[in-house]
Chain A
């Protein structure tokens, strides 16, 4: 079982603040890195899937970067809004054994 770590565990920010989270993962046999947003009482929703070192993805105010050599990804939220409040999950997939591992998530609360 491989360890995917997310930090911080939780975060409270004021509306309008920009914030970022970290996902660290084993880089050996890496295949893909996923980010999901999970709002309370809803299903996890995909934000990004990244596979190449140096990948950068953007969707509105949210962006993500990937470093496969050192095994980390950053998720950035610019100008946080209350509707951004959710748990943000990352998950990494590996060629070996075709396995896929989730981190425990970062819980974001945006205070109006």
Chain B
């Protein structure tokens, strides 16, 4: 089955620790995205990547880092510099940017205490 996987579903970390969220797709899509959802707010774009070894910041990239070494994988690292890391994180992919529908993973709920 083609799709996007994110792991783990729930993640708990202590404040001050970096944590990496996994996102893998087997849809052969060029573009991948990371979004964050907070209560009462729309999905907000953290980072996106149009091709391998290239990625761009979204509006809320501060405190996050990504890599795109393989077409299938787009891991997100939440660093200790992110002031409010507790949130629901969604990964998505599409054939190319913006003009194509995005396919979403199941999400990771991160709780930092």
Contact = CB atoms under 8 A, between A and B. Distances in A.
Nearest to B99: A32
B41 A34 contact: no
Interface in B42-73: 42-45, 48, 56, 58-59
B98 interface: yes
B6 to A, nearest CB: 9
Interface string A92-105: 01000011111111
Chief secondary structure at chain A's binding surface: strand
Contact of B101 (A1, A42, A49, A100): A49
Given A49-B100, A98-B97, A104 B45 contact: no
A34 B101 CA distance: 7
B56 A46 contact: no
A45 B90 CA distance: 12
Contacts, number: 58
A8 B101 CA distance: 24
A45 B103 CA distance: 7
- By size class, the interface of chain A is 20 to 34
Interface of B: 4, 33, 35, 40-45, 48, 56, 58-59, 90, 92, 97-107
Interface of A: 1, 4, 31-32, 34, 36, 42-46, 49, 51, 89, 91, 93, 98-105
